[in-house]
Amino acid sequence: MTHGRFSLNQATIKYASLAEALQVAVDTGYESIGLWREPVQEVGLDKAVELVTDSGLRVSSLCRGGFFTGQPGPVRDAALDDNRRALDEARRLGTDTLVLVAGGLPEGDRDLAGARERVRDAIGELADDARAAGVRLAIEPLHPMYAADRAVINTLGQALDIAEQFPAEVAGVVVDTFHIWWDPQVLEQIARAGAGGRITSYQVCDWITPLPADNLLSRGIVGDGHIDFTPITRAVVAAGYTGDIETEVFHADVWARPYAEVAAEVADRYHRLIEPDL
């Protein structure tokens, strides 16, 4: 059985090398994979491109750029340069989607509105590079519990407010159920994103309780938590999104399991809980 549009984000099997992740994905029936920069850089970009090409898999996205909320100066300049490298890596790996995590408040800085303005400015500074690379800057709103220390962009509406200031081929948004399922405006904002051709990625994982002690590792496999995926998936479909659907599960217990077992289980959940609504 193959999994069609379903893509295994390699962070779901975090401890696998790039070669192992590609092999697991192929062996368990995937046609698509979401990559992270660190395992790519471990083998070097040339080798990574070769491994990906040989695998025959599509690359649904590259994670991640962003982290550009710093004040103007060397730190911010370095972040923008790193995003330019990430755009080039995405292009060479054959994906049109670079996922952006905005970054949190700089140390000691409480100006949330200012940090959010710098995110918009950074997208503006990267827009020409993105267009040249043929890669879209995919702004991912992160759950509000990460607003201080990880990402100051926290709702789909807010991500769209930024993305819509740039052409659709340059800037879009990530619809990730874990981050946005609670939002009273989620369905209308998905429709808005679709109408503007802004949905660059649909990602599915679940919200589990009690929230694990490390809130960065608190994501559940689809079906293990509280999210009703049906209305969200149907809204994404109705909005015209036809791309790959990734799952990206950060959880210590999931990472400790055999890679192929995890890859098979998340695919099973996809076929049962997501695919029927496509």
Residue ranges in contact with a second copy by CB under 8 A: 105, 110-113, 116, 143-145, 147-149, 154-155, 157-158, 161, 181-184, 207, 209-211, 213-215, 225-228, 231
Which residue, 57 or 162, has its beta carbon nearer to a second copy? 162
Q: How far is the CB of 90 from a second copy (least distance, A)?
A: 28
Query: Could you tell me which of 61, 66, 71 has the C-alpha nearest to residue 40?
Result: 61
Q: How far is the CB of 89 from a second copy (least distance, A)?
A: 30
- Residues 6+ positions from 196 with CB-CB distance below 8 Å: 160, 163, 164, 168
- Residues 6+ positions from 72 with CB-CB distance below 8 Å: none
Q: How far is the CB of 183 from a second copy (least distance, A)?
A: 7
Q: How far is the CB of 222 from a second copy (least distance, A)?
A: 12
What is the rounded CA–CA span in Å between residue 15 and residue 35? 13
Measured in whole angstroms, the distance separating CA 75 from the mean position of its chain's CA atoms is 24
215: which 2 tokens?
Answer: 């809130």
71: which 2 tokens?
Answer: 């004040």
Q: DSSP for 93-134? A: HT-SEEEEE-B-PPTT---HHHHHHHHHHHHHHHHHHHHHHT
**Each residue of 188-210: b (16+ CB within 10 Å) or e?**
ebbebbbeeebbbbbbbbbbbee
C-beta separation of 254 from 16 below 8 A: no
Query: Could you tell me which of 190, 170, 165, 171 has the C-alpha nearest to residue 180?
Result: 190
Which residue, 79 or 145, has its beta carbon nearer to a second copy? 145
Which residue, 4 or 212, has its beta carbon nearer to a second copy? 212
Which residue, 126 or 153, has its beta carbon nearer to a second copy? 153
Q: How far is the CB of 150 from a second copy (least distance, A)?
A: 9
Which residue, 114 or 196, has its beta carbon nearer to a second copy? 114
Q: How far is the CB of 215 from a second copy (least distance, A)?
A: 5
Which residue, 40 or 163, has its beta carbon nearer to a second copy? 163
Q: How far is the CB of 208 from a second copy (least distance, A)?
A: 8
Which residue, 179 or 198, has its beta carbon nearer to a second copy? 179
**Angle, in degrees to the nearest 10, between helices 112-133 and 74-93:** 40
